[in-house]
Amino acid sequence: MQSCWFGDVDNGKCIPFSGDAAAYARRVREIRTSMDALVPPDWKIAAACGICRDRAEYLSLLQKVCIAGSEQAVREQYAAKDVELLQMVRTLDEMDTVINVLSERVADWYQIRHPSFSRKYRRTPAHMLVKSVSERGGGGALGKVATGITGLSDTRTALAKEVSARACEVMPNTSALIGGLVAARLLSHAGGLKALSRLPASTIQVIGARTALFMHIRTRAPAPKHGIIFQHRRVHNAPREVRGKVARVLAGKLAIAARLDFYRGSVVPEFIEKAQARIDLAGTVQGDDKQ
């Protein structure tokens, strides 16, 4: 018996399938056929089933089924728990870029208005200068821009807290190891929780170090030892001589944590406790190399 999207065909007899376009689309997803044995159905068979009267009607119904199937796939994709988190963390990164660029621009603008500030400007971070200009107030364009940047910075801080909280829900084990913000950035660079759960530890270790990695490949420069995970205190606070080892061990535990998050979706206290102990051990000069 051959199963087609419009019904089941057996020895020249057809048992039609009934339903709307969405039901037909669900049936298409349930049918499993080897591509080697696949025989494209003929519209005449569908007509014999009573599904259509001619080829034009067959193609019209097939188009509706394909559209319904695509809509179902899009809804399922957007319903995934990590989709909104991806947009949140990418928005956060864009806000960081905008704030930094505008802060530097305001600092240059302020220097033009106050030439005597040049020496002090070299020792004053741009964001501190923007905050100072904003607090002074004033109705000028410079003051308004500085106030806008300050407001955007406040929004960025609130969004960062929400990203961290959402990451703890979506990636409880990963977030427990490296914190919500760093976990969310790993998720963003990987392209989703499913993609992250399939990455080997060696890739997770250098996610975010694309420039250094390409430099290593092209010019034989030293290979990067860490990427985004360097933002976590366990790595950047580790002694330089063991920092690479800490990054390697942490990446190995993160690879396991990502799989637990994807397949279980809940925190595993026993794993977190053992992983943190192993990472702490790697941070000591006497720590061994076993993972």
Sketch the domain layout of the chain as residue ranges: 2-79, 81-170, 172-291
pLDDT band for position 213 (cuts 50, 70, 90):
low
Class at the top of the CATH hierarchy for domain 172-291: mainly alpha
Tell me if 238 sits within 8 A of 283, measured CB to CB.
Answer: yes
Residue 290: predicted pLDDT? 44
Residue type, 271: F
Cα 138 to Cα 25: distance, rounded to the nearest angstrom: 62
Instruction: Tell if the pTM clears 0.85, that is, is over it.
Output: no
Cα 238 to Cα 246: distance, rounded to the nearest angstrom: 7
Residue 93: predicted pLDDT? 93
Residue 291: predicted pLDDT? 42
pLDDT tens profile 40-88: 777 888 888 888 888 898 899 889 999 998 998 888 878 788 999 999 9
Q: What are phi and psi of 58, to 5 degrees?
A: -60, -45
Residue type, 252: G
Cα 251 to Cα 199: distance, rounded to the nearest angstrom: 10
Residue 25: predicted pLDDT? 87
Write down the residue that tokens 């089933």 correspond to.
Answer: 49
Residue 240 token pair: 């330089």
